[in-house]
Structure 1
Amino acid sequence: FHPIPQSEVFAYFWLLIPINFEHLDRFSSNSKERSQQTILSIEDRRTKLLQEVPLIDGHNDLPWNIRKFLHNKLKNFKFNEDLRSVSPWSTSAWSHTDLVRLQRGHVAAQEILHFFYLRVENIMLPHAVQFRKGQL
């Protein structure tokens, strides 16, 4: 048995809540009343919710992949393409998103948390800072 880290429990909690709420209305006392109303499809409800409440992506490897594949040369990045069919993005295990899919998924903001580990004995501090500034 391996305990689940608290951060993973939090992620699972948020994934399970919407699923459970969707099934509660089946058992409510006025379910007959609801069945007579116009029922939106799950896709329509999701779209409506995402238009009203901003979705914030807490982790995205797109900036790292731009650095890795294009050496930060943004002029070579295909901003308007779904990168699932563009090499090397399509074969990368860490390339799960692009601007087209972020827009399609109604992502309103991208949280950027920048941290790094530095082993001072193995790298000179100015080089480490320059490398990390390149990621930002």
Structure 2
Amino acid sequence: ENGLKSITDGEFRRSWWHLDFFWGLNGVETVKDEGGFEFDAVQSRIETARLSGPISGDNHPFVADFKFLLAHTPEGIEARQTVPAPARLFSELTRKENIEATRKYYETDDALIDAIADAYQTVIEDLYEAGLKTVQFDDTT
């Protein structure tokens, strides 16, 4: 009717554009941060993502969110999914507040990068099996 051929959930099911995805990975926990984030002179909630074990993408909640979106998408419209870029997760896990916890599980940056890549691959494969054809990586790093 209005010419749009694709749809997303607009991230309305999330409390953060990036952290919700990170928290959905196995081995990543929600913790209170010391200072939060500042954006445009506004201080955010004080939360971060920190490792509590090895990272994996099995049973990520975004797959269920995508299935919900797909079930409510009209025929002829493509349902799409946005996720934060893997570089954003790497950046989060190597912040000074998080690096000590990260090094308990991944001694090197290369090992961490490989684990992040494997977790993302699992989530994306699960999304594809659920019907996803287009994923958008949001990268602010």
Question: Which range, TM-score by smaller chain?
Answer: under 0.3
TM-score scaled to structure 1, two decimals?
0.27
The structure with more helix, counted as a fraction of residues:
1
Between Structure 1 and Structure 2, which shows a larger proportion of strand residues?
2
Q: Which has the higher contact order (CA 8 A, sep 6+)?
A: 2
Using the size of structure 2 for normalisation, the TM-score is 0.26
Query: If you compute each CA radius of gyration, which structure gives the higher value, 1 or 2?
Result: 1
